[in-house]
Amino acid sequence: MAKDIESDVSDDDSNSPSIYELLDLVHEHQKVTKKQSKEIKQLNASNDLNASLATNYDDLLCKFKLLIMEYEELKLKIERIKNETNDFLEIEQSIPFAIPIFKVDASLLTLI
């Protein structure tokens, strides 16, 4: 019976990897872990940049909407000024001048 236990242990030892194979696997695992760590850092940096760009986009969009509103206000003011100016010109043209204006040639004037 003791021989059966020893033979089972020796069978397990022959199937298990050697210490060198284990060390190679550990080194490979470390390389993969470092590579993935770098990729995670790059992704985090990209996410931060994307969040910053999204915030900047939202700010610019708000400013653009404000500019549109100010443009519409200015357009209305300009239209109102044009209408007032046209009204004033119509009124001015309908009033006859009380004092006639004459053109005088300067060479005809003499000093007293």
pLDDT of residue 2: 46
| Confidence bin at 109 (pLDDT 50/70/90) | low
pLDDT score at 88: 73
C-alpha 1/C-alpha 12 separation (Å) is: 17
Q: Which single residue is written with the structure tokens 């790059």?
A: 42
Q: What are phi and psi of 78, to 5 degrees?
A: -65, -40
Distances (CA, A) of 4 to 7, 13, 35: 5, 14, 46
pLDDT band at residue 84 using 50, 70 and 90 as cut-offs: confident
For the whole model, what pTM was predicted?
Answer: 0.46
| pLDDT tens per residue across span 10-66 | 455 567 889 999 999 999 999 999 999 999 999 999 999 999 999 999 999 999 999
The pair of three-digit structure tokens given for residue 21, joined into one six-digit string? 């194979």
Tokens representing 90 are 């119509």
Higher pLDDT: 99 or 66? It is: 66
Q: List the domain boundaries for the chain.
A: 18-93
Helices (H), the chain: 2-15, 19-94
What integer pLDDT is reported at residue 101 of this predicted model? 67
φ, ψ (nearest 5 deg) of residue 96: -75, 150
Contact 25, 17 (CB under 8 A): yes
